[in-house]
Structure 1
Amino acid sequence: MDSVTQILFGGVIAAAGFRAQLGRGAVIAGGAIATLPDLDVLADLVTEPSVINVWLHHRSITHSFPVTLIAGAVIGAGIWAVERRVRRRPRILPKDALDDAGRRSAWMWLGALSAVTHPLLDLFTSYGTQLLAPFSMARFAVNAMPIIDPLYSLPLLAVFLFALLTRRHVDTAQSMAQLVLLYVALYTTMAWGVGRHMEDRAREELRASHPAAAAAARVDAYPVIFQIWWRRIVADLPDEILVGFASPFRDAPIEWTRIPRSENGPGQTPALDAIQSTYEARVFRWFADGRLHWRQLPQDSGGFIFEARDYRYGLPGESVLGFWGLRFRTDAQGRITAPLTPLAERPPFSRAALEELRDGVLGR
């Protein structure tokens, strides 16, 4: 999820169970701790800046369940230690004030829960999160939620602000926080169910149109930005990739865009084999969960241009094959002759794009 939503979720966790005992500062602390795992974007400061390193380091060890639990508890203990040193006894005790050991325990629990909610929220997006790092580099993803969804984030924002600003209605803030956590849990479950429903529907259509290949086809329904209903559905068949967009509010058959696996070039060749075995290509395949489309295009110089695109993401039109990828240039023998070039072709934000999203959600 986006970093703002992570902050809001951590603050609401604090409001739901710790605001009455630890004061309003707990809401700020919960939000701050919840967004700390995204500091892994600073990895470029100690490594060579590249898209490959971003894929390797973002949502890796700082997003691990065991690491966030331990680190969050340690941060909570640190907050307690600073609080104890700066103010041994608060001048105004919060309602249900705890003794010293109780405050330490509460801060540690708040830190651990706030931190671990970060990878938990990210798990329900398609990007992939290394939940077991450093013990495993496996990436886990549930195709339920987009990165940004106002219907998810705005209720959290309202409760976060109320819990942070109110001085007298602490019990009300706690009840509201608990209710909004239940709401987002149910909303996420519904989003996961929408995705599963659209996958099942796509498989049924494939069984009718591709009976021989449908049984082994991999089908996923990826959420499109800002909402959970309109889905990008991707089906892998032996000779082609099918991409369609559909909503549960429209019963018409899915309109598939058919993308040959050997589009604009030959099939598997020794030169393509060599490129796919490079470190950069292997990292990209790992990051994209295997969903890469390759093109091999000849150059006038006798060499080749190889393009790989992550086809989990994209919108109808020019970006249907994906928003980003990598480009390699080689000589006739398949040796790389220039640094790899990242491809980024996300369509510009426009009113037409919003109208297309609206129509997609409504099934028009």
Structure 2
Amino acid sequence: MDPLSQGVLGASLSQSLSRKQHIVVAGILGLLAGMSPDLDVLIRSHDDPLLFLEFHRQFTHSLFFIPIGSLVCAWVLHPLIAKKRGLSFQQSWLYCTLGYSTHALLDSCTSYGTQLLWPFTNERYAWSTVSVIDPIYTLPILILVVLATFKRKTWLARLAFLWAVMYPTIGMIQRDRAVAAGWQLASERQHTQIKLEAKPSFANILLWKVVYETNDRYYVDAVRVGSTVKTYPGQSVPKLDVNRDFPWLDPNSQQAIDIERFRWFSNGYVAQDPDDKTRVIDVRYSIIPNQVKSLWSIKLSPSADMKSHVEYHTHRDSSPESREEFFGMLFD
């Protein structure tokens, strides 16, 4: 989730359980602690472009790391912010813990994947009930937290936290409706599905991307779940077969290892890019929800040596035509 959403959610919970005289500092501690797990984005390597994919939403986002992460936040923030305002270290740690604890659970509501139970498993939990950026989710929380801060009213913060819980719950209902529509589409095509997922498109829970897998292909469609359900049939792409798609690739090379790392990150939804045969794409994400054009990919090189890593690329299609097509689906 974006940093603003993480911060105001953390602030709403810490303010909800604070005393009236502490509501301002509790909000600040919850805000900063709520954003802090994303400092793991600093774990990067110039030589290994996929390293950040392995560490982002890993140990700092584990439920088992909450006591440690919040304690570090308290050690840093208590002398800087809370001590001079009369809070004990224990109170600072409590507010930091409340803020920190919201982060991983909110991230798990997106479709990116969060390692909630690391180090016991590296499974990436993704409930896909809210988009990574969604102003309809964030703005009410932000407004209520600001009002709670200036008016010193904890009930406003509690209302903000209530909205923060209700919206993903609505998203869960919407997701299940999109999944049902996806199964219906696959059945009409007489496809035998191995697995199927629905993910909210950018900044809303009205238009969804449905991806399902058959024995040899991935199919992507868009589903709008409003008062009625409308489907926008989309594209398909062959599943990645390394031996077929990259016959020149040495299976012991670093590039071959990187493909499997990218496959793990992508939950298996990988394919050769139809527009560039040297790329492997994550089929799950695209700006236009019924298209295969991925938001990120890895690029291989036939001339690379055995120890060379793949390149990692992001793709942003912000053309007027793409925006028009997206909003045409969103607003029907």
TM-score bin, normalised by smaller chain: 0.7 to 0.9
- Which sections of structure 2, spanning at least 5 residues, go unmatched? none
Residue aligned with 1:330, SS = coil
For residues 29-68 of structure 1, what are the structure 2 equivalents within 5 Å? 29-44=29-44, 47-48=45-46, 50-68=48-66
Residue aligned with 1:27, SS = helix
How many Å apart are 1:120 and its aligned residue? Answer: 0.8
How many Å apart are 1:235 and its aligned residue? Answer: 1.0
Instruction: Calculate percent identity across the aligned residue pairs.
Output: 24
Larger radius of gyration: 1
How many Å apart are 1:349 and its aligned residue? Answer: 5.8
TM-score by length of 2: 0.87
Distance 1:49 1:235 in 2: 34
User: Do the aligned residues in 1 keep the contact of 2:30 with 2:96 (CA within 8 Å)?
Assistant: yes
State the one-letter code of the partner of 2:263: R
For residues 330-341 of structure 1, what are the structure 2 equivalents within 5 Å? 330=302, 340-341=310-311
Corresponding residue to 1:160 among 145, 162, 166: 145
Residue 109 of structure 2 is aligned to residue 124 of structure 1? yes
Residue 204 of structure 2 is aligned to residue 227 of structure 1? yes
Specify whether residues 143 and 266 from structure 1 end up closer, same or farther in structure 2 by C-alpha distance, changes over 3 A only: same
User: Do the aligned residues in 1 keep the contact of 2:144 with 2:159 (CA within 8 Å)?
Assistant: no
Match of 1:358 in 2: 327
Deviations 1:205-264 (A, max 9, x none): 2123215x14xx31111111111110111111112211111101354444131223379x
Distance 2:164 2:272 in 1: 38
Deviations 1:145-185 (A, max 9, x none): 11110111101111222233x2xx32xx2111111211121
User: Do the aligned residues in 1 keep the contact of 2:212 with 2:218 (CA within 8 Å)?
Assistant: yes
State the one-letter code of the partner of 2:118: A
Distance 2:308 2:216 in 1: 30
CA RMSD of aligned residues (A): 3.2
Residue 180 of structure 2 is aligned to residue 184 of structure 1? no
How many Å apart are 1:338 and its aligned residue? Answer: 6.7
Match of 2:314 in 1: 344
Match of 1:106 in 2: 91
State the one-letter code of the partner of 1:288: S
Residue 213 of structure 2 is aligned to residue 243 of structure 1? no
Distance 1:85 1:199 in 2: 50
Match of 1:12 in 2: 12
State the one-letter code of the partner of 2:161: L
State the one-letter code of the partner of 1:143: S
Residue 178 of structure 2 is aligned to residue 209 of structure 1? no
How many Å apart are 1:110 and its aligned residue? Answer: 1.4
Distance 2:14 2:329 in 1: 37
Corresponding residue to 1:196 among 176, 192, 204: 176
Match of 1:2 in 2: 2
Match of 2:22 in 1: 22
- Which sections of structure 1, spanning at least 5 residues, go unmatched? 91-99, 299-304
Distance 1:104 1:20 in 2: 18
TM-score by length of 1: 0.80
How many Å apart are 1:63 and its aligned residue? Answer: 1.0
How many Å apart are 1:48 and its aligned residue? Answer: 3.6
Match of 1:76 in 2: 74
Specify whether residues 56 and 86 from structure 1 end up closer, same or farther in structure 2 by C-alpha distance, changes over 3 A only: same
